[in-house]
């Protein structure tokens, strides 16, 4: 099926990428309480860009700023305390609710990003918000019956809590029992049916990415941002990544530690580190990782569990690839051309790369998005050539991009559709790409997609035992160029393992590393890169 001049791309493993969502910077305007209506209220919500809420003494005020920070200032505007001091996620908060004896910050989707009290036994639903004469935000109440009193400071921005009425907020007390408001949803204390909240000290996450200061809910299935995979903190303590379409196992912490059954919670801690802890708070397993207070835990397009910093730096990845993916959607350094003027009248689209001077041709079904992405990938790969491999040796090299055309249509698109001539039905319906010294052919069907639709229409007739449902990123794009580099630069390796080694180098891994081929790859490339399907 292969010749020394042409190569087939095989189904391949996949690449690790970051996808993480940002929260809108401002929220929809809603009615806000009058300043005097906040203190002592049983249930009140404030929104971003709120009015000032002066303390009863008038010495301080509370304000919920447009940036999501809830701040206490002196009346002259001096900073006293802010939500930013207790959570790095304050920027995600869109509203703050004082209710049920607690303070909760919610993002735009209704997920709790921070709450003052997290353990149920520390919450008293009689507590109300007050801002003291000294500028301390408190959840407090004091109830007296004759000479007896009950209550206390249950939460305070200065961390000074106490039982009883001593040190009451602005000496406010109530002599009559207060009505208890109806409960509101609290993800950290109300587990899903059959489940258990992971971590009594952190809010339970609703979705990925898992932010600092939150924990996974046990037995809850968390879809990856791409929808290709699911992350599950299993009942037996294992943390597992599974493929969504068939529930196939991708990665599990059981491969990292035999103690996974001791796992009680999976947390992104306040310092931005990821850890699996036991019931007493001891570390069951945590990977070596850089720390960033804004880091999140997520699952990449290709199924790698990752800790990712706000600017996209991969701090840890289950597949070991830490190179931050490049944005293939950025405008590539290309100029438009006319296919027939470049000797390819059967082709619909034409682009010339600036460096090296490669020419990209596209069929009618090929998209400009894909051509731009391919140009970016090849420009990045060749920019990493060692000094002994000049890029200009690829000047004039041609790339042909199709996108699921039938065998009959492919035959009208030389040389791509005719390069497998004489090898039977497999040449047109199964082999959807190839490479040579002067050109290569790739299919957009294999860029950031699952399976090859045209191959699967009649897979049994092609001798396939099952449909091709392989998840691909830029595997074929990298693989076929790898074959062409063998001929173009006289690299003495004709095996399939050679382009596969290049795939591993550029974070589209397949197979296991071979030391000799890794050494050969390093002699060709001076640095690594990876390419993001999230931006494709």
DSSP string of 159-173, one letter each residue: S--EESSTT-GGG--
Domain ranges of the chain: 35-171, 210-320, 327-532
- Whose CA is closest to 326, among 373, 370, 391, 393? 373
Token pair of 466 as six digits: 């099952």
Cis peptide before 356 (omega within 30 of 0): yes
The answer to whether 489 and 344 are in contact (CB under 8 A) is no
Token pair of 512 as six digits: 């296991």
- Whose CA is closest to 107, among 226, 25, 198? 25
Q: Is there a shared CATH topology between the 35-171 domain and the 210-320 domain?
A: yes
- For domain 35-171, the CATH superfamily is Bulb-type lectin domain (2.90.10.10)
Token pair of 379 as six digits: 């420009």
Mean pLDDT by 10 residues, the chain (536 residues): 34 25 33 62 82 84 85 86 83 86 84 83 84 88 69 89 64 34 32 36 84 91 89 92 84 90 91 91 90 90 89 87 83 96 97 97 96 97 96 97 88 83 55 89 91 82 80 92 94 83 85 80 91 80
Query: Is the CA virtual torsion 268, 272, 275, 277 positive or negative?
Result: negative
> Alpha-carbon distance 421 to 43, whole Å?
75
Question: What pLDDT score was predicted for residue 283?
Answer: 93
Question: Which residues contact residue 227 at a Cβ distance below 8 angstroms, ignoring those fewer than 6 apart?
Answer: 244
> Alpha-carbon distance 472 to 536, whole Å?
13
Question: What pLDDT score was predicted for residue 475?
Answer: 92
For residue 489, give the 3-state DSSP assignment: coil
pTM over 0.75: no
Which CATH architecture best describes the domain 210-320?
A: Orthogonal Prism (2.90)
> Alpha-carbon distance 377 to 394, whole Å?
14
Beta strands 229-233 and 221-223 are: antiparallel
Question: What pLDDT score was predicted for residue 166?
Answer: 60
Q: Which secondary structure element, helix H or strand E, spans residue 360, and what is its range?
A: strand 359-362
The answer to whether 141 and 126 are in contact (CB under 8 A) is yes
Question: Which residues contact residue 34 at a Cβ distance below 8 angstroms, ignoring those fewer than 6 apart?
Answer: none
For residue 259, give the 3-state DSSP assignment: coil
DSSP code string of 169-223: GGG--BSSPPPPPPP---TTTSPPTT-B-S-TTSPBPSSSSEETTEEPPBT-EEE
């Amino acid at each position: 099926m292969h010749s020394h001049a042409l190569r087939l791309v095989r189904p391949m493993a996949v690449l690790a990428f970051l996808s993480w969502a940002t929260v809108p910077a401002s929220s929809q305007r809603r009615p806000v309480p009058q300043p005097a209506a906040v203190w002592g209220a049983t249930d009140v919500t404030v929104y971003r860009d709120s009015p000032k809420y002066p303390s009863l003494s008038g010495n301080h005020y509370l304000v919920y700023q447009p940036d999501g920070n809830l701040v206490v200032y002196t009346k002259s505007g001096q900073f006293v305390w802010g939500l930013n001091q207790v959570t790095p996620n304050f920027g995600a908060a869109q509203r703050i609710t004082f209710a049920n004896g607690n303070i909760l910050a919610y993002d735009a989707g209704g997920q709790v990003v921070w709450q003052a009290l997290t353990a149920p036994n520390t919450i008293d639903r009689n507590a109300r918000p007050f801002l003291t004469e000294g500028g301390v935000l408190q959840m407090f109440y004091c109830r007296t019956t004759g000479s007896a009193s009950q209550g206390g400071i249950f939460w305070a921005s200065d961390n000074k809590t106490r039982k009883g009425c001593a040190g009451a907020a602005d000496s406010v007390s109530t002599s009559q029992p207060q009505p208890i408001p109806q409960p509101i949803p609290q993800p950290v204390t109300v587990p899903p049916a059959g489940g258990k909240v992971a971590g009594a000290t952190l809010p339970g996450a609703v979705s990925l990415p898992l932010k600092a200061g939150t924990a996974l809910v046990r037995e809850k299935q968390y879809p990856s941002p791409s929808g290709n995979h699911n992350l599950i903190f299993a009942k037996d303590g294992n943390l597992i990544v599974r493929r969504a379409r068939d529930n196939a196992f991708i990665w599990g912490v059981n491969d990292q530690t035999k103690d996974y059954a001791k796992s009680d919670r999976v947390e992104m801690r306040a310092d931005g580190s990821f850890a699996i802890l036991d019931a007493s708070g001891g570390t069951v397993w945590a990977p070596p990782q850089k720390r960033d207070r804004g880091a999140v835990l997520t699952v990449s397009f290709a199924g790698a569990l990752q800790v990712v910093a706000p600017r996209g730096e991969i701090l840890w990845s289950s597949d070991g690839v830490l190179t931050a993916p490049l944005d293939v959607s950025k405008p590539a350094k290309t100029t438009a051309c006319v296919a027939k003027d470049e000797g390819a009248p059967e082709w619909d689209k034409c682009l010339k790369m600036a460096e090296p001077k490669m020419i990209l041709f596209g069929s009618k079904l090929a998209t400009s998005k894909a051509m731009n992405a391919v140009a970016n990938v090849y420009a990045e790969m060749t920019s990493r050539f060692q000094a002994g491999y000049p890029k200009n040796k690829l000047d004039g090299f041609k790339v042909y991009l199709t996108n699921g055309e039938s065998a009959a249509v492919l035959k009208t698109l030389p040389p791509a559709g005719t390069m497998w001539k004489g090898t039977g039905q497999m040449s047109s319906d199964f082999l959807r790409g190839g490479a040579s010294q002067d050109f290569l052919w790739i299919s957009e069907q294999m860029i950031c997609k699952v399976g090859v639709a045209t191959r699967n229409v009649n897979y049994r007739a092609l001798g396939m035992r099952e449909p091709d449902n392989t998840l691909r990123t830029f595997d074929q794009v990298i693989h076929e160029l790898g074959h062409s580099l063998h001929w173009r630069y006289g690299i003495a390796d004709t095996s399939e393992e050679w382009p596969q080694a290049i795939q591993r180098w550029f974070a589209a891994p397949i197979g296991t590393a071979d030391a000799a081929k890794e050494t050969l790859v390093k002699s060709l490339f001076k640095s690594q890169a990876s390419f993001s399907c999230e931006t494709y």
